[in-house]
Structure 1
Amino acid sequence: MIEYKLNLAGCQCSVVEWNPDGSILVFALHGWLDNLATFESLVEFMPDLRIVAIDFPGHGHSDHIPPGVTYHFVDGIYLIDDLLRHFEQKQINLLGHSMGGAISTLYAASLPDRVKAMVLIESIGPLTAKPEDGVSLLNRSVNQRAALAGKRKPVYTSFDQALTARADVSEVEKNLIKPLVERALVKVEDGYTWRADSRLRITSPVRMSEAHLVEVLSNIEAPVLLIEGEKGFITDSELLQTRKQSIQYLEVVQIPGGHHLHLEQPQTCAAQIQTFFQKIG
């Protein structure tokens, strides 16, 4: 494993490379309030893939954005494009879980000639909103931002207490999510707290409508593999199931597990990922 920092979309981001001798370069993008360690359990089962994983701004070991600035979900497309340019690639392969997959779909739609293939884990586009909900989203975002000034991050007296809390929220066994939690925590005077920027919890003030997103997804030209959990978010959502019809070249595989199925079934999930990228070439 190699770890270093890159300036991506104006932020110093932590980057980790696994399998540096792998023949197929893949950029791996994690989910909201997760970090790049979410892919750690997969890499040993994907030796042919050179995995370049990042901590998004405000997550893991990456820097937080400056005070007074807001995280915008869509800014992730600039980060992906900066990765492409840093590695001097004309086309890239993307692997994204949850939020990372949603950002990948936006990038693949906006610049279809730059994405060779894409694997989505429990992800098929970002959250949307009905037009009539636009004002309430704006209201909620402004009020949440103002309320942050009086909030303090939770502090856990021990690592195990924090690990238990995160495992319960994610509905994943503690031993499976431990690497992610280790990277997510920072030691403070009276215990442990989360590294992640609290501003990440502020609701996005603006979201696409579902009709808008469907048009965006239909512009994806790269072949896409969607890996969904039998008990995950996509399986349980009629709306997300409908989005599948918008993507031109889509394969779907369902694996036992929930939203973090890649932690629960790393070998099975990795086999699907590596085989798909090898097939594309």
Structure 2
Amino acid sequence: MKVLREWTIDAPWGKIAMISWGNEAGSPVLLVHGRQDSAATFEPLLQLLPDTYHYVALDLPGHGRSDPFPTGLAPTRLHFVGALQAAVRHLRWKQFIFVGHSMGCEGGLFFNAVYPHRISKMILLDPGPALTRLQVHDPPEYFASFHQKYYDNYDKFAQKRIYSQQRALEAVMKARGFTEAQARRAPSRNMVQVGEDLYELSWDRRLLCLPPPNYPPSYYYQLFCTPTPTLLIAAKQFQGGYTNGAKKTLKLISDLERTLDSFTVVTVEGGHDVHFTNPERFIKVLCEFLDNKFECQSKL
């Protein structure tokens, strides 16, 4: 699918980079990537989606070609909801379909709670690992993992790491299990050339310790238990996130699926980046979901 256009919008903290595909007259779809990724990670999926929809992706603050949040206090995972709101306001969408991956799903779920009825359908691509970070409830562990880590490394966040292209590719292949071709595409919006065969990663290094909200699971259940039709694609290989929060996260997802008629979970073979490495494994069910109309009601 051909790119329609690329542009930036103004937010209180700087620029947000936007990119669009498809048919501008079609139903709007907002694509939101995960932590330390960019809009580029949706490109393989977009090649399989119908071009009758209007797809718009943004690089979240501190990712890709978007400016980071201001220096100072630690940015939190909830701050990204403000970036989604800025993008939707700019687009003047009254209602839209939401597609998110990993931490992007988290932002969509909170946006849906804060701005009900704006999202007509949700497609959540392997949100489990990101949602586990909502389950860090022990106060000393929470403080050490996020706030203490942030201030202990405060001076390091401004330091840029320089890579040769080959070294950058090898690092991405090792960390994500990508092929060389995938490793070239995934960070393409995050790599800035600063010299002959010298590149720096543009993403904000503070992303390594974003404090999540840490409320009890029952609170998230009430917050996310909405009638919005939702398709959750779960990777069979549960990878990453906060290991001690995995069971509570899986129970939260199971409870939502059990309670809501319009909440569907489909498990596919693959890892956390299956939407990027093998989107063909779930494209049929995703397209059927896009085209379906729903009457939502609780199963209780």
Q: TM-score, normalised by structure 1?
A: 0.88
The 5 Å alignment of 1:228-247 reads: 228-233=234-239, 237-244=246-253, 245-246=255-256
Cα pair distance change 1:178/1:268, threshold 3 Å: same
User: Paired residue for 2:204, among 187, 197, 201?
Assistant: 197
Give the corresponding residue for 1:211: 218
Kindly provide the CA deviation profile for residues 47-79 of structure 1, in whole angstroms up to 9, marking residues without a partner as x. 222210000000000012222143221122222
- Quote the offset at 1:115 in angstroms: 1.3
What is the alpha-carbon distance in structure 2 between the residues aligned to residue 262 and residue 89 of structure 1? 25
Compare 145-154 and 13-22 and name the one that shifted more: 145-154
Alignment partner of 1:26 is 2:26: no
- Quote the offset at 1:22 in angstroms: 6.2
What is the alpha-carbon distance in structure 2 between the residues aligned to residue 213 and residue 30 of structure 1? 21
- Quote the offset at 1:112 in angstroms: 2.4
Give the corresponding residue for 2:146: 141
Give the corresponding residue for 1:74: 78
SS state of the match for residue 251, structure 1? strand
Cα RMSD of the aligned pairs, angstroms, is 2.4
2:120 partner letter: K
Corresponding residue pairs, total = 277
Contact 2:77–2:212 (CA under 8 A) maintained in structure 1: no
Compare 68-77 and 92-101 and name the one that shifted more: 68-77
Give the corresponding residue for 2:297: none
SS state of the match for residue 134, structure 2? coil
- Quote the offset at 1:143 in angstroms: 2.9
Alignment partner of 1:165 is 2:171: yes
What is the alpha-carbon distance in structure 1 between the residues aligned to residue 12 and residue 111 of structure 2? 14
Cα pair distance change 1:177/1:207, threshold 3 Å: farther
Contact 1:148–1:198 (CA under 8 A) maintained in structure 2: no
Identity, in percent, stands at: 23
What is the alpha-carbon distance in structure 2 between the residues aligned to residue 71 and residue 38 of structure 1? 23
Give the corresponding residue for 1:155: 162
What is the alpha-carbon distance in structure 1 between the residues aligned to residue 53 and residue 280 of structure 2? 14
Alignment partner of 1:11 is 2:14: yes
2:273 partner letter: H
Q: TM-score, normalised by structure 2?
A: 0.83
Contact 1:26–1:92 (CA under 8 A) maintained in structure 2: yes
SS state of the match for residue 161, structure 1? helix
2:181 partner letter: N
User: Paired residue for 1:95, among 84, 99, 103?
Assistant: 99
Give the corresponding residue for 1:37: 40
Kindly provide the CA deviation profile for residues 179-232 of structure 1, in whole angstroms up to 9, marking residues without a partner as x. 1222111223482221101111124175233232222122x2200001111213
SS state of the match for residue 238, structure 2? coil
- Quote the offset at 1:144 in angstroms: 2.4
1:246 partner letter: L
The list of structure 1 runs, each at least 4 consecutive aligned residues, that deviate by more than 4 angstroms after superposition, is none
Kindly provide the CA deviation profile for residues 135-172 of structure 1, in whole angstroms up to 9, marking residues without a partner as x. 3322443332232314644332x212211211221122
